[in-house]
Structure 1
Amino acid sequence: MGRIPSVFLLFLLSACGGFNSNSVKDICETYPDMCSDLNPDGWCRAEKADIIKHRYQMSVSPTDKLRYDLLLDFEDYKKCISKASQIEHIKLKEKKSERIRGLLTAERELKRLANETRDATTPHLLYYQWSRFHSEQALQGFLQYEKNNQLEYPEMQVALATYYSKFDRPKTIRLLYHALELYKEDEEIDREIFRSLSSLFMKEEQFDWAYLWGYVAREFGVEDLNLTSIQAILHEQGKKTAPIEDKAAHYIELIEEGRFIAPL
């Protein structure tokens, strides 16, 4: 894919108000090779849009962070399109072959990007190489960034939590709290943080906190949570859930406004 003049990027952003469905359409019309290897039907629309937007940004100003974003984009797309490719279209059999083409694209691009970034030294890609391919060298490089306080991004605090969760639950909780502290107002929150906090506090047998973060998770749209069992435990301990829910509601407000501070 050729490099796109930055002036065209500015035109698209000003004409379309940033990246939205219209600008994705414009990108595909102007640079069809950024879209033609993905399935053309309505399946996996959000995942395709992310890929197209990040491909476009890469063509203008490539960075390791964008390569990391594309790796995650293709992982999400592969998960989605692999399900869609198993669905037979009643009237148009070619729909399935188009989805299979998208699946093959995801597999090819994941392999290509992973190989290209194998020797990367930036934190996001070091984390990717460790978490996906168990590279000890990548892990040590990633942890060096922690020692130098250079992982002050929500997603990197969550990445660190993934590492420490295997042997240090208290530190894992602190890292997830700090990730919430780093979010700014109106930023999209990684909802799995709340599920993880609830699970960690359950293991620590701090059931009031487990219920609080489970409640927050549910309010943020996390599914498959069993709060009833935690309620039963709290009832046995003579604790009421209403005050916990009030505190959770306050935390939700602080998180959404980018003002959360980790409790002591």
Structure 2
Amino acid sequence: MSHKLTTGKHASQQEIWVYQIKKTIISLLCLTCLTACNDDEVKLAEACEAVRGLCEEIVSDSACKNERNSVILNEYDIRVRRNRSKIYQQMLALEDLKECTYKQSLIQYVPAEMKFPIETRETQERINKRNEYRRSIAERKRMKVDNYHNTLNKIERYNQETAGFLTPHLLYWHWSRLHDKVALGHLIELDEEGRLSGYDMMFFMSMAYASIDPEKVEPTLLRSLEQYPPIRYTEMAPPKEPTRYNPYIDEEGRLHYSIFRHLTQLYFSKKEYDKSYIFARLLEMNNDEAVDDFVILGYMKNQRRERLGELDQISETIDSWVKDGKFRTLKYEKLVDSLS
């Protein structure tokens, strides 16, 4: 089955938006896997000895230590242990390092003449301190800028190395980062052949279908819920910064918030208000404050208040299914079809 991929402004925005969603979620998921599986992890010094070139290109800094360490350990696994399954994880780690080193490269240091103002009668010691400080900040600035550019170069080398790879997550990378329509086409073929799995891939495929095959968005989101791991289905804690909501920090890589939001909005756009309310209530039950902006809650309370008791019960049933890893599309459809 062939698909015509939408081009132009709308498609570009869609891809960029999916990229942002991925950054708030998938890197956290994969880094969690790394943490859980490093009982036999090589020591950082040993890894640096084995992949010396990388450690010399991206040098140790007072900042970005965790990001750099992850990149080095992943590189060791890929190049020395020949663990090719770590490539996608490494690309995500490099992306996190890129963001950190970019911020570091923007740091502006106090100028030497402000740190050590020139005086009428200066001692040689003061002049030496000013000059040493000037050399120090120049070296630190150069090191931070070099770390950023060398990280970019490393990402580009992986982009070239993985071009044409047909593993789902690497195909997803090339579509979401490099706007590779061929990679997206391969993903769609894999999905049609039933060879895609994983709640994250199902969610991202639903975003792809939004622009090329809208009828597939709902069933693909529901498939994502079918595969959702109960361990990740937890309520949202209060924001780390009360005055500013940050999905990358506050959602902690939990994808069900995005799934519920998209189903809420999708059903509302189709005027399936009962279903839209059910998933808005699921967001409320998970302490997602974003639901306060959804029109559906006010609409149902004002226009269909008599239905809320029945719909709330359905929301609680779905909540228990996801908690137990027992959500199934057929059960869900049967449940909502029974609405009076």
Of 177-186 and 247-256, the range deviating more from structure 2: 247-256
Match of 2:78 in 1: 58
Q: Is it true that 1:40 corresponds to 2:78 in the alignment?
A: no
Distance 1:182 1:40, change over 3 A: same
| Contact in 2 for aligned 1:41/1:95 (Cα 8 Å) | no
Distance 1:229 1:102, change over 3 A: farther
| Contact in 2 for aligned 1:44/1:77 (Cα 8 Å) | no
Of 133-142 and 240-249, the range deviating more from structure 2: 240-249
| Contact in 1 for aligned 2:280/2:296 (Cα 8 Å) | no
| Contact in 2 for aligned 1:123/1:142 (Cα 8 Å) | yes
Of 84-93 and 224-233, the range deviating more from structure 2: 84-93
Distance 1:193 1:89, change over 3 A: farther
Q: Gapped runs of 5+ residues in structure 2?
A: 1-34, 116-135, 233-252, 334-340
TM-score (structure 1 length as normaliser): 0.71
Taking the TM superposition and a 5 Å limit, the aligned residue runs for 1:50-129 are 50-59=70-79, 60-63=81-84, 65-88=85-108, 93=137, 98-129=143-174
| Contact in 1 for aligned 2:98/2:148 (Cα 8 Å) | yes
- Once the two structures are superposed, residues 78-130 of structure 1 have per-residue CA deviations (whole angstroms, 9 ceiling, x without a partner) of 33443454344779956665544443233112211111111212222223223
Q: In the TM superposition, what is the alpha-carbon distance from 1:171 to its structure 2 partner?
A: 1.6
| Contact in 1 for aligned 2:44/2:73 (Cα 8 Å) | no
Q: In the TM superposition, what is the alpha-carbon distance from 1:58 to its structure 2 partner?
A: 2.0
Match of 1:19 in 2: 38
DSSP-derived class of the 2:268 partner:
helix
| Contact in 2 for aligned 1:231/1:241 (Cα 8 Å) | no
| Contact in 1 for aligned 2:265/2:276 (Cα 8 Å) | yes
Q: In the TM superposition, what is the alpha-carbon distance from 1:132 to its structure 2 partner?
A: 2.7
Name which structure has the greater RCO, CA cutoff 8 Å, separation 6+.
2
| Contact in 1 for aligned 2:64/2:97 (Cα 8 Å) | no
Q: Is it true that 1:261 corresponds to 2:328 in the alignment?
A: yes
Distance 1:167 1:121, change over 3 A: closer
| Contact in 2 for aligned 1:194/1:213 (Cα 8 Å) | yes
Distance 1:144 1:205, change over 3 A: same
Q: Which amino acid aligns with 1:174?
A: P
CA distance in 2, matches of 1:95, 1:241: 61
Match of 1:200 in 2: 266
Q: Is it true that 1:235 corresponds to 2:301 in the alignment?
A: yes
| Contact in 2 for aligned 1:181/1:261 (Cα 8 Å) | yes
Distance 1:81 1:195, change over 3 A: farther
DSSP-derived class of the 1:120 partner:
coil
| Contact in 2 for aligned 1:82/1:103 (Cα 8 Å) | yes
CA distance in 1, matches of 2:69, 2:147: 13
Q: Which amino acid aligns with 2:328?
A: I
DSSP-derived class of the 2:87 partner:
helix
Q: Is it true that 1:251 corresponds to 2:251 in the alignment?
A: no
Q: Which amino acid aligns with 1:61?
A: R
- Once the two structures are superposed, residues 115-158 of structure 1 have per-residue CA deviations (whole angstroms, 9 ceiling, x without a partner) of 11112122222232233333333233222212321102222212
CA distance in 2, matches of 1:44, 1:256: 36
| Contact in 2 for aligned 1:117/1:125 (Cα 8 Å) | yes
Partner residue of 2:206 out of 149, 161, 166: 161
CA distance in 1, matches of 2:278, 2:140: 45
CA distance in 2, matches of 1:248, 1:131: 33
| Contact in 2 for aligned 1:212/1:245 (Cα 8 Å) | yes
Q: Which amino acid aligns with 1:30?
A: E
DSSP-derived class of the 1:201 partner:
helix
| Contact in 2 for aligned 1:126/1:139 (Cα 8 Å) | yes
Q: Is it true that 1:190 corresponds to 2:206 in the alignment?
A: no
Match of 1:30 in 2: 46
Match of 2:276 in 1: 210
| Contact in 2 for aligned 1:207/1:230 (Cα 8 Å) | yes
Q: In the TM superposition, what is the alpha-carbon distance from 1:177 to its structure 2 partner?
A: 1.4
Match of 1:13 in 2: none
TM-score (structure 2 length as normaliser): 0.58
Partner residue of 2:193 out of 141, 148, 155: 148
